[in-house]
């Protein structure tokens, strides 16, 4: 169940309450009987497990071996583009 933070508008009393989603929000301060207001803050979400980290889904692309580095250089510079074919005239 989620935990909600409340603050009293009259006495500034602050507290947390564990409530289900279906429950109504608290409206009366337990200290002074004044009106309560829900407090919204940053959400601390932590993802655990595979697939959530940048390096989890990657193979060995970050680690290059000397043979793979030299083959990449040869393939990018050794081939030149073929000339465009001219249309045949009838």
| pTM for this model (two decimals) | 0.46
In the block, tokens 């507290």 appear at 15
d(CA 6, CA 29): 9
At 19 the pLDDT is 92
At 11 the pLDDT is 95
* Mean of pLDDT values over 43-52: 66
HEC sequence for the chain? CCEEEEEECCCCCEEEEECCCCCCCCCECCCCCCEEEEECCCCCCCCCCCCCCCCCCCCCCCCCCHHHHHHHHHHHHHCCCCCCCCCCCC
Average model confidence (pLDDT) across the chain: 74
């Amino acid at each position: 169940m989620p935990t909600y933070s409340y603050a009293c508008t009259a006495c500034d009393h602050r507290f947390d309450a564990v409530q289900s989603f279906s429950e109504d929000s608290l409206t009366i301060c337990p200290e002074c009987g004044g009106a309560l207001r829900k407090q919204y803050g940053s959400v601390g979400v932590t993802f655990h497990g595979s697939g959530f980290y940048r390096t989890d889904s990657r193979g060995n692309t970050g680690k290059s071996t000397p043979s793979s580095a030299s083959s990449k250089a040869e393939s990018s510079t050794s081939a030149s583009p073929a000339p465009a074919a001219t249309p045949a005239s009838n």
